[in-house]
Structure 1
Amino acid sequence: MNNIESKRKIGFYIRVSTERQAKVVEGSLKNQKQMLLAEVNKRNLLNKSWGELIEVYVDEGISGKDINRPAFQKMLKDIEIEKIDTIMFTELSRLSRSLKDFLNIFEFTQKYNCDLICLKTDIDTTSPYKNLITKILMVFGEFEREMTSQRTSINAYERSKRGLANGGAAPLGYYRDKKKKGYLLIDKKESGIVLEIFKTYIKEKSIQRTTEAIKSKYADSNSGLKKINKSRIYSILTNKSYIGVREIYKKDKSKYEEVKAVWNGIIDEKLFRRAENLLKANKERLHWRNSGRFNYLLSGLMMCGKCGEKLQGKCAYSRINKKHYYYSHKNTCKDSGISGIDAEVTHKLVFDWLDEISNNGDRFNQLKTEGKIRIRKKIDFLNTAIEKLKAEKKALVKEIEARLNELTNTKSEIVKNTIEESIIKLNQSKKDIEDKNIYIRHEIDRLEKLIQGDNNLFGEYSDRIKSIFRPPNNGTKDKLREVISYIKLDDKNVNIALSAVNLKEPVSELFVSTPRAGLEPATR
């Protein structure tokens, strides 16, 4: 993909999944780096000046199930700003355990003319042939994973049909039979607790009171009830394992089956059915399991204008027993910001404002003009920062030269060691400044592009905003995140920042509007 005559700017990506692996000095992290360095040296011997290692990206003790990894994200940013143009890694699983994520990574690197090289598979995009092999391997890899998953599901189902228990922790009151896989044996001590839970519920007729009674008796004991709450009590009362029944596809009503389990029950079936009927009769009282909760559409977007903390959706009852929903700090604001704001009123204000700007081109263009002025000011600030970095780098270069002269003229080994250490630190500071300079210049380019070529910006935003109001409404929260970068709350106003229209690019602040709020803090 890259010009073969140019020297490659290489980045190593290294990852281990557990903290234990990360702490092993001569372990996987070091092994991965050593293997990658050996490969680079080999290629440089075959093709002089093939590539140069620029950066090593290390995620220690982090799973590869998604791409939310600090070093990985930094690597993507460096690809985008052309700091590196080749990524090397030892195994595909180090980079990603998801084919979907890998396809996205593959497309991203193709977009920015960056190659991928994996040592333990034939993934290598440095030539057209190897690039084709990479794509074919990806398809077969996904097919193999799907077949493995299907075989695992079939095996688990067949075991369940025979009444055997699958993996995971044994229910309270049982322990696994080490001699017979899939069999459960009754724990005499814990089975007594299970029986007491059923009898207490029959007596109290309340999940809450049953939980309190069991917690007061067993919270500090060495029993299997380490975590006692209403959900745990409910799951015990509804678990048919206790009457010797193996449930299959419990969470899927269309596939649900019951078969006789290979283990003995703990609870008499009449007692279990009494508890089951009581649960049905008390369904309306189990409000803690009610799915009809208030939808905090702006959660994750609302933040305090003073301390910057994300505001959480909360609810409370007033003195007249009316339920109120609001956004508030987790704790008291350290900078004395507003304590909270009514959620329903805020939702109406934000939706009304979005509706206004999506239907009013003049109002929208006014906001766009104001936003461009703010972006220009930010660009000026960044240009000033670059000038400061230049001055700092110039001073560092001068200091490094002076230290090198000292090193040449000194004869003392102790002094030489001290000077060499200081030169290493100065060179690291110089590299940090160069990295900062790259990122700032990239940010300036991004902001410049943001305010250019946006003649149809109103049309694009108008369509995207109007999609929020179209049915079905179950994706409203995600749609809001597509058009709103953040919402800041200060003493008098709700300040809304719209994000970039083109979602393929990094989400960035385009302009900010301050709708007239007139909102009072939520009372608790």
Structure 2
Amino acid sequence: MKERKIIKVVGYIRISTDEEHQPYSLSAQEERIREYVRLRKREGYRIFKIYSDQKSGATLDRPGLQSLISDAEKGLFDVVLIVKMDRLWRNLADQLYLIEQFQKLGIRLEATDEDIDLETPDGITWAQIRGAFNEAERRKISYRTKMGMRKKASLGGWCGGYTPFGYSYDKYAKTLTPNEEEAPLIKEIFYLYVTKKMGAKSIATYLNKKGVRTRGRYPFSTSRIISIITNPIYTGKIRWDGKIYPGTHQAIIDEKTFNEAQTILARRREDPSLRRSNSSNYLLSGLLHCERCRRYMVGVNAHGRNDVYHYYACPGRFKYGECAMQSLPKEKVEKAILSQIKEIFRTDALLKRICKRVKEKMAEKIPKKKAELKNLEKEILKRKSTIQKYLIAFETGKMNAESCNERARELEEEIYLLKEKHIRLQEEISNSETFSFNLEEVKKGH
């Protein structure tokens, strides 16, 4: 008797935090898939693997799905089995793309709870029509959700999303309430800004020195302080879709103080983007260490009345206000260091010892730096994933634009700092691994 061909089947299951009503849990979906395969055992069906995601279907950028696609390209299975089509995709474009990819690879797509026929033109057309209707229905739901949120905001209700620093969300009363620990800090920030006339950077320095941290346990930055003093939520108002409505929650700051803060801000024109490094040629950026906090110093510009001044500054000071290290004039620092280098080049024995010691020290640090590099990559991916979740929450009407932008801005700032560190580490590792020296060549280069 001819042996029946084994048909390798993989299952794909998904639930999403942005779906209010989950018809099936992951375990329930897996159970239905396994039962489907068990009933077709005589046909040669065998479970090869189950892929899963706990992420919105609004994007194909899901770990489980990407792993499934990668294995499909390797020809590891014959059938992809799902409970319903919306477990794989949420929009027609993604549906068409995946169907085409599976067809090219000779992989069948089947569902336990839907009749999917992708082997005939009529079946494919019907699947496309159904996908278009499903997408239209989801858009209607999203639109109704957003309209509901707008109505809720107009009535003074909190529309969800990232709870502002200074408040907690009372899920029973469905409103914001002042946080016992954070609300006094909000009052202190406004007091320092309005009454004491401290700048945003100085306030960040003050809070960081006191050991105060954001909810994410990060130091306060200038931009974080500015986002607080410009948020009308603290006056008992709700900002939604560019409009401000009277809120039902308790104010932390009175209207007069808030307006005074906006006037001061406009007069000072404080803008963190003005503090970014410029395009001047800072030869020692990333090479100089701050003697106080050991951060790498970077080149910055200071605009005077009639000229632009160049400095090397510690990010711990100008970005977070944590470090007391004074900025160093670019020209003086570079001149002093070049003078020391010239002295070294005059003595062969000293130059040899320095080069040898440098090579040894660089080699010793490589394993630790590589481990740190991997950790940085994980932290960057973690924050990118969090931003994606906030964007999906915004797109589906679960989070307002202001809350989404505020939290995404904080995370992007963290990613920027992590990427800076990642680039420096990569360069250090590359330099350490390729470092070599020839005394005559070194002197000739001088």
Structure 2 length normalisation: TM-score? 0.54
Cα distance between partner residues in 1 of 2:34 and 2:198: 67
Q: Is 1:111–2:120 an aligned residue pair?
A: no
Indicate how the Cα distance of structure 1 residues 68 and 207 shifts in structure 2: closer, same or farther if over 3 A, else same: same
Indicate how the Cα distance of structure 1 residues 124 and 8 shifts in structure 2: closer, same or farther if over 3 A, else same: farther
- 1:287 matched residue in structure 2: 272
After superposition, what is the alpha-carbon deviation per residue over 1:168-192, rounded to whole angstroms, capped at 9, x for unaligned? 35434444456654x4444566433
Shift of residue 54, structure 1, vs aligned partner: 6.4
Partner-residue secondary structure (3-state), 1:121: coil
- 1:316 matched residue in structure 2: 298
- 1:164 matched residue in structure 2: 157
Indicate how the Cα distance of structure 1 residues 291 and 142 shifts in structure 2: closer, same or farther if over 3 A, else same: farther
Q: Is 1:275–2:261 an aligned residue pair?
A: yes
Cα distance between partner residues in 1 of 2:65 and 2:82: 12
Partner-residue secondary structure (3-state), 2:330: coil
Q: Which structure 2 residues correspond to residues 299-338 of structure 1 after superposition, within 5 A?
A: 316-317=298-299, 320-321=329-330, 333-334=366-367
Indicate how the Cα distance of structure 1 residues 163 and 209 shifts in structure 2: closer, same or farther if over 3 A, else same: same
Q: Which structure 2 residues correspond to residues 91-170 of structure 1 after superposition, within 5 A?
A: 91-97=84-90, 99-170=92-163
After superposition, what is the alpha-carbon deviation per residue over 1:460-498, rounded to whole angstroms, capped at 9, x for unaligned? xxxxxxxxxxxxxxxxxxxxxxxxxxx99977xxxxxxx
- 2:220 matched residue in structure 1: 229
Q: Which structure 2 residues correspond to residues 209-224 of structure 1 after superposition, within 5 A?
A: 209-217=202-210, 219=212
Partner-residue secondary structure (3-state), 1:123: coil
Work out the number of aligned pairs and report it.
Answer: 296
Cα distance between partner residues in 1 of 2:123 and 2:198: 68
Shift of residue 292, structure 1, vs aligned partner: 9.3
- 2:244 matched residue in structure 1: 258
Letter in 2 for 1:242: Y
Cα distance between partner residues in 1 of 2:297 and 2:136: 47
Letter in 1 for 2:330: N
| 2:14–2:53 Cα contact (<8 Å) kept | yes
Q: Which structure 1 residue ranges, 5 or more long, are not aligned?
A: 1-5, 20-26, 250-255, 295-313, 338-486, 492-519
Shift of residue 165, structure 1, vs aligned partner: 1.6
| 1:162–1:261 Cα contact (<8 Å) kept | yes
Letter in 1 for 2:256: K
Cα distance between partner residues in 2 of 1:147 and 1:293: 47
- 1:10 matched residue in structure 2: 8
| 2:90–2:135 Cα contact (<8 Å) kept | no
Indicate how the Cα distance of structure 1 residues 71 and 272 shifts in structure 2: closer, same or farther if over 3 A, else same: closer
Shift of residue 110, structure 1, vs aligned partner: 2.4
Letter in 2 for 1:268: D
- 1:40 matched residue in structure 2: 37
Cα RMSD (Å)? 4.5
- 2:304 matched residue in structure 1: none
| 1:218–1:225 Cα contact (<8 Å) kept | no
Cα distance between partner residues in 2 of 1:52 and 1:188: 59
Aligned pair partner of 1:191 in 165, 183, 192: 183
After superposition, what is the alpha-carbon deviation per residue over 1:326-368, rounded to whole angstroms, capped at 9, x for unaligned? xxx9x9655999xxxxxxxxxxxxxxxxxxxxxxxxxxxxxxx
Indicate how the Cα distance of structure 1 residues 210 and 239 shifts in structure 2: closer, same or farther if over 3 A, else same: same
Indicate how the Cα distance of structure 1 residues 218 and 61 shifts in structure 2: closer, same or farther if over 3 A, else same: same
Q: Which structure 2 residue ranges, 5 or more long, are not aligned?
A: 18-23, 280-295, 300-311, 313-327, 335-361, 371-425, 432-441
Cα distance between partner residues in 2 of 1:180 and 1:70: 37
Shift of residue 225, structure 1, vs aligned partner: 8.5
| 1:12–1:36 Cα contact (<8 Å) kept | no
Cα distance between partner residues in 2 of 1:260 and 1:218: 34
| 1:59–1:69 Cα contact (<8 Å) kept | no
After superposition, what is the alpha-carbon deviation per residue over 1:132-158, rounded to whole angstroms, capped at 9, x for unaligned? 332221111100110000000111111
Partner-residue secondary structure (3-state), 2:10: strand
Shift of residue 98, structure 1, vs aligned partner: 5.1
Letter in 1 for 2:231: N
| 1:9–1:84 Cα contact (<8 Å) kept | yes
- 2:237 matched residue in structure 1: 245
| 2:168–2:178 Cα contact (<8 Å) kept | yes
Letter in 2 for 1:146: R
Cα distance between partner residues in 2 of 1:189 and 1:81: 54
Cα distance between partner residues in 2 of 1:151 and 1:53: 43
Cα distance between partner residues in 1 of 2:74 and 2:176: 58
Indicate how the Cα distance of structure 1 residues 156 and 129 shifts in structure 2: closer, same or farther if over 3 A, else same: same
| Higher relative contact order structure (alpha carbons within 8 Å, sequence separation ≥ 6) | 2
Shift of residue 119, structure 1, vs aligned partner: 1.4
Indicate how the Cα distance of structure 1 residues 208 and 154 shifts in structure 2: closer, same or farther if over 3 A, else same: same
Cα distance between partner residues in 2 of 1:195 and 1:139: 51
Partner-residue secondary structure (3-state), 2:101: helix
| 1:57–1:71 Cα contact (<8 Å) kept | no
Shift of residue 219, structure 1, vs aligned partner: 2.2
| 2:190–2:229 Cα contact (<8 Å) kept | yes
Shift of residue 212, structure 1, vs aligned partner: 2.3
Letter in 2 for 1:229: F
Shift of residue 198, structure 1, vs aligned partner: 0.5
Indicate how the Cα distance of structure 1 residues 217 and 96 shifts in structure 2: closer, same or farther if over 3 A, else same: same
User: Displaced runs of 4+ in structure 1, greater than 6 A?
Assistant: 289-294, 487-491
Indicate how the Cα distance of structure 1 residues 53 and 164 shifts in structure 2: closer, same or farther if over 3 A, else same: same
